[in-house]
Amino acid sequence: MTTTSRTGPGTEPVPDSATSEALATDSDSAAASGPSLRKTAPGSASPASGGAPPVTESEAPATDKRPRLLLTVLLAALFMAALDVFIVNVAAPTIGSELHSSGADLQLVIAGYAITYAVLLVTGARLGDRLGHGRVHLAGLALFTAASLACGLAQGPAQLIVFRLVQGAGSALMIPQVLSLIQRTFTGEARARALGAYSAVLAVGAAAGQVAGGVLVSADLFGTGWRPVFLVNVPVGAVLLVVGRRVLPLGRAGGEERNRPLDLPGLVLLAAAVSLLTVPLVLGQEEDWPAWSWLSLAASLVLLALFCGHESRLARRGGAPLIALRVLRHPGIGLAVLRILAVMSVNAGFMFALTLHVQGGLGYSALRAGLGFAPTAAVFGAVSLTWRRWPAPWQRRLAPAGFALTALSVAVVGHAFHDGGDGGAVLYAGYTGVGAGLALAFSPTLTGALATVRPQDAADASGLLATVTQLGQLIGVASFGTLFLNRLESLGVPGPYTSAEAFSACAWALAGTAVAGAVSGLVLRRR
């Protein structure tokens, strides 16, 4: 489901991506494209925000003295969470053989993390509002680190599945606080740079998960096989906990957010709706799409409609909905939701289908398959961190241009593999184009959507867009993975040629989705 946003009376739409003027204005200038963001001290009120909530004494030292270290801690935690969505993919065959796991077990090991992650993200954002973003972030980090240790020590598939669910819950607590703390700590140009780094880390972590998984499994450190893909999080998480206690704000939020009651009926409805959506997306292909999977998808739409109705009624009565409706109506949020769904679906679907082809069809090792994603990850990170330096007139068009480049590059990769070979030199040009295109489609979209969100709405916007990001990845893996596997099955005899044909069909579908993302802004603007 996508949400189209409309401006209020007397306002103008915000452009697709925030321009330099909108993000870097000082106290004497204002952007023509949207509300100005004046450079104020972190935690103080700004005209764009309509007044930030008061900051407690315990928050002030962290945001005033050490914002760069604070950002480093937050982004390191984000990188671990993004990494863990994909790092298990290339380790799955080893896990299956060592733990004697069934296909359904492996599906749950891979996807259980994403299920609880997606289901609890909005709840994690709201708890940060009530209890303090730094405090909830550290609690989630501690839970994630402990669950990673438990995963690495698991003795059977059932234990591993349970601990992966707990790992996802830890991520759901800590990750929404990253965007919320960025919104509350940085202003103007500094906020734009922080959001660019957030975008880079998020998608580079996804691609690097494949690389890291391949390296760790192939290394077989001390004969531990697949276990280091989880245990690597333990020392990193421990260091982040120690440093985080020193640099993150540990006080509770001030203002109205602190006293907002938790919308328990809304929480139950949303969690049930997301669960009924994600479980069949994850397990439907493995079970050959039985009747229960379609009933579950239909029920998720019904519950989502009930959730929207409940939130609307609660807001009209003056209550505190789980997701503030003013965030959904904010200029640019509807288009951002649509584009983030598209770019994350293409990103996850491309990596998943490509992994299936090169490991299953071409017989690559886990290490070689993982390293194939290195150019995409490196270029994505570089572009995400530098696009703000490009000429201002270009920045309005970066998102649609990024989708167009992605469509072309995915088609190039599909064509490079079409004869059942290794793709040759042109393949790496395609990988580079995919990384650059996805970065241009994602980073300006996220930055533009969050650039003018008021600090008191940071948790709502963070939870919403983080949930959309996870759902986009789940939809991409489920839809394009299903397309690849169904096409492979219909072709009959397995081998590099049939696998290449299946990937080629998948590549054209991915390219079509990217084209839809490119034209989405034009469609919504005309409406």
The CATH number assigned to the domain holding 383 equals 1.20.1250.20
Same domain, yes or no, for 371 and 494? yes
Of 300, 321, 342, the domain-final residue: 321
Q: Are 168 and 295 in the same domain?
A: no
160 plus 199 within the same structural domain: yes
Pair (231, 317) in one structural domain: no
pTM given for the model:
0.71
Residue 11, domain member (yes or no):
no
How does pLDDT run across 236-274, given as a tens digit for each residue?
A: 999 999 999 988 888 765 555 555 677 788 888 888 888
> Residue 493: its pLDDT value, please?
64
Q: How many CB atoms lie within 10 A of CB 77?
A: 28
Q: Compute CA distances 91 → 280, 301, 371, whole Å.
A: 23, 34, 14
316 and 330 inside one domain: no
Number of domain units in the chain: 2
Q: Are residues 340 and 316 in the same domain?
A: no
Is there a single domain that holds both residue 368 and residue 240?
yes
Residue 21 neighbours by CB distance under 10 Å: 17
CB atoms near residue 253 (< 10 Å)? 29
Answer whether residue 33 is part of any domain: no
Look at residue 5 and tell me if it is in a domain: no
Residue 91 tokens read as 């380790």
Half-sphere exposure of 184 (CA within 13 A, CB side): 32
Kindly state the tokens that stand for 406. 């992605």
**Shared domain check, 280 and 222:** no
Residues 177 and 291 in one domain: no
Contacts of 222 (CB under 8 A, 6+ apart): none
Does residue 27 belong to any structural domain of this protein? no
Q: Are residues 94 and 228 in the same domain?
A: yes
Tell me, what amino acid is at 320?
A
Q: Are 323 and 463 in contact (CB under 8 A)?
A: yes
pLDDT at 459: 66
Residue 20 belongs to some domain of the structure: no
Residues 426 and 306 in one domain: no
Let me know if residue 252 belongs to a domain.
yes
Q: How high is the pLDDT of residue 430?
A: 92
Nearest-angstrom CA–CA distance, 522 and 16: 10
Confidence band for 51, pLDDT divided at 50, 70 and 90:
very low
Out of 291, 321, 351, pick the residue that ends a domain: 321
In a domain, 167, yes or no: yes
Domain range holding 450? 60-262+322-526
- Whether pLDDT at 444 is above 90: no
Query: Looking at the structure, do residues 418 and 501 belong to the same domain, yes or no?
Result: yes
The answer to the question of residue 16 being in a domain is no
Over 60: is that where the pLDDT of 31 sits?
no
pLDDT at 40: 34
Query: What is the rounded average pLDDT of the residues 330-342?
Result: 83
Greater confidence (53 vs 158) lies with: 158
